Structure 1
Amino acid sequence: MTYHVGLIHYTNVAPLTDRLEFPEGVQFVSGVPTAMNAALLDGRVDLANISVFEFIRHADHLAALHDFSVAVLGAVYSVNLFHVKPWEELSDVKIALTSQSATSVELLRVLLQKSGIDAHLIRAEGTALELLSQGYDGVLRIGDSALREWYEVVGPISEDVSMLDLPHTGRGVIVTDLAQKWYELTGHPFVFAVWAHRKDNPPPRDLQLAMRNARRWGVGHLGEISQAHASKLGLPWRVVQHYLWNFRYHLEPPDRAGLKVFADLASPGHAELTFS
């Protein structure tokens, strides 16, 4: 019987997937996070790199691989709120939300709540600058688009700027990195995605071995991967390399601790999280 895998083709998972060779009997489909969430939940795929909030919401019948994640400690650069007013002045304003990621929307809700901010969150699609020009006071953007739009706002960045000092303002726009804001408020890493499957249908061992081999190659070749993906993104390769080396791909104990804190804040009373 064929085992189906759902992949998200964002640059941040390139170290996990660029050299992933599926064993016999495994096929894959790809899409944005919300599409892969739905594909796993309705049974069209058996394993998927899904938004962590959907894993939390459906923890009663989903399990996550115990050693895979897409997480960061501090800035992520690709989950951004673009706004003109300072963060603390965002109460009673209109914020446009992407439909591509449930986790990022819930993370924004949690961060606003912890900051005592009550904003109007509205579904709308478009680039950050387009939506700001249409009257929105804030725009949530994720993934490769958010990374490109962050650079459009703050760039170009000269080569003598340390990668630790990358800017977050430009063109009259503030870019609040939600993972950095999470770290400032909680002191924990933030887990954006896990590899999840239904509890009664775990992935075959040869697929897990292939995934670990692909990750091992990817983490060891971030420069090569960065150069390949920089041309697709239209960004300097050194910026893409800095972006990729921030990620934590192994779901280590600090990541699980941060995941538990987010689960308790975003979905009180959730079922116990299961790892396989």
Structure 2
Amino acid sequence: MTKIKVSAVSYTNSVPFIYGLENSPIINHIELSKDYPSVCAQKLLENKVDIGLIPVAVIPKLNHYEILSNYCIGASGPVRSVILASFCPLNEIKTIYLDYHSRSSVMLSRVLAHKFWNIRVKWTDTIEGFENRINKNEAAVIIGDKALLLEKNFPYVYDLAEEWIKYTGLPFVFAAWVSNKPLGNLFKTEFGNALKIGINSIDKLNQCFDFSHLPPHIDVLDYFKNNIDYNLDEQKQKGMNLFLKYAEEIQ
């Protein structure tokens, strides 16, 4: 039987999902890879995988898609791992560097700048190491574990989830589990159950995974419980739909 190819995000925020997938019967039916969010998206767009934990900004680009499960990478408050970092306040920023790992966070920064911050800046694509080359009147969108590592290195740090919530009153969805082809109901149920196992196992994840790459001030379990919101509920769907509407308007 051909295994379903699944691309999960390789960041700390996705560890509960990875644990669930690797410790449930679904692992016998999938081929699991771990990638940066932008790579997850590209793999799904190019049909190199069947399911991806993809940036929601990419969803409209898929010819066929189905959102799987009631789980996501979302935030109902500060997310900490998606930031705009700068040496100056918002109104003095002239250039914003865009994390090459990102799709949704890059688009979120554009939406915030256009719709709410009312700033005009030069948007600049990046390569590895960009976060070390930020100068005066410049800022960078930094995501994932890099953001957790660097959050104390800048005098001005804007949490993009917190900014979105401040202006819209809605939570934000960064990534969702999406398939690019029809899948059987039994598989979809088992896949959702696997993700649930992971979310219900958060309290023991620091015994199962090595988080030593993160700085000592990061309480990983607190991050899982109080910064990432994994439930794709009705309010998050509203937030996601509004974000996609705004994204379409500014493109």
TM-score (norm 2): 0.87
User: Deviation per CA, 1:44-73, whole angstroms, max 9, x where unpaired?
Assistant: 111111010001333x42221251211111
Offset from partner CA, 1:126-165 (integer Å, 9 cap, x none): 55761224x5610111111111111x43xxxxxxxxxxxx
Contact 2:76 2:165 in 1 (8 A): yes
2:172 aligned partner, one-letter code: F
Q: Distance in 1 between matches of 2:128 and 2:137?
A: 11
Counterpart residue type for residue 124 of structure 1: T
What are the within-5 Å matches in structure 2 for residues 20-35 of structure 1?
20=21, 21=24, 22-35=26-39
**C-alpha distance 120-233 of structure 1, shift in aligned 2 (>3 A):** same
Q: 1:183 & 1:50 partners in 2: Cα distance?
A: 21
- CA separation of 1:110 and 1:222: change in aligned 2, threshold 3 A: same
Quote the offset at 1:182 in angstroms.
Answer: 0.5
2:90 and 2:137 mapped to 1: Cα distance? 14
Could you give the per-residue CA deviations for residues 229-249 of structure 1, whole angstroms, max 9, x where no partner exists? 563333347622221113222
Structure 1 stretch 239-248 or stretch 205-214: which is displaced more? 205-214
Alignment counterpart, residue 242 of structure 2, candidates 261, 268, 273: 261
Change (3 A) 1:65 1:213: closer
Structure 2: give runs of 5+ residues left out of the alignment: none
Change (3 A) 1:23 1:220: closer
Letter in 2 for 1:122: T
Q: TM-score of the superposition, structure 1-length normalised? A: 0.80
| Distance change in 2, residues 1:250/1:204 (3 Å) | farther
When residues 14 and 203 of structure 1 are mapped into structure 2, their CA distance, relative to the original with a 3 A threshold, is farther
* Equivalent position of 1:147 in the other structure: 148
The residue that corresponds to 1:120 in the other structure is: 122
SS in 1 for 2:70: coil
AA at the equivalent of 2:52: A
Q: d(CA) in 2 for partners of 1:108 and 1:208? A: 33
Cα contact 1:82–1:128 (8 A) shared by 2: no
Runs of 4+ in 1 over 6 A off after TM superposition: none
CA-to-aligned-CA distance 1:1-30 (integer Å, 9 cap, x gap): 332111111111111111313343421222
Instruction: Rate the CA distance shift 1:237–1:176 in 2: closer, same or farther, 3 A.
Output: closer
Query: 1:100 aligns to what?
Result: 101
Q: Of residues 74, 79, 94 in structure 1, which corresponds to 2:77?
A: 74
1:23·1:210 contact (CA, 8 Å) conserved in 2? no
Output aligned runs, 1:118-267, within 5 Å. 118-127=120-129, 130-133=132-135, 137-150=138-151, 152-153=152-153, 173-198=155-180, 201-226=181-206, 229=209, 231-236=211-216, 239-245=219-225, 246-267=227-248
Cα deviation for residue 206 of structure 1 reads 4.6
Asked whether the equivalents of residues 230 and 236 of structure 1 are also in contact (C-alpha less than 8 Å), the reply is no
CA-CA distance at 1:221 after TM superposition: 3.0
In the alignment, which of 89, 92, 103 is matched to residue 89 of structure 1? 92
Which residue does 1:109 correspond to in 2?
110
Paired residues in the alignment total 245
Greater mean alpha carbon deviation, residues 261-270 or residues 138-147: 261-270
Report the secondary structure of 1:267's partner residue.
helix
Check whether the contact 1:68–1:250 (CA below 8 A) recurs between aligned residues: yes
SS of the residue corresponding to residue 231 of structure 1 reads coil
Alignment gaps of 5+ in structure 1: 154-171, 271-276
Contact 1:230 1:237 (8 Å CA) reproduced: no
- Give the superposition deviation at 1:213: 3.3
8 Å contact kept, 1:17–1:214: no
Q: How well do the aligned residues superpose, as a CA RMSD in angstroms?
A: 2.4
Distance 1:237 1:137, change over 3 A: closer
Aligned counterparts of 1:14 and 1:29: Cα–Cα separation in 2: 13
> Is the alpha carbon distance of 1:110 and 1:229 closer, same or farther for their aligned partners in structure 2, counting shifts above 3 Å?
farther
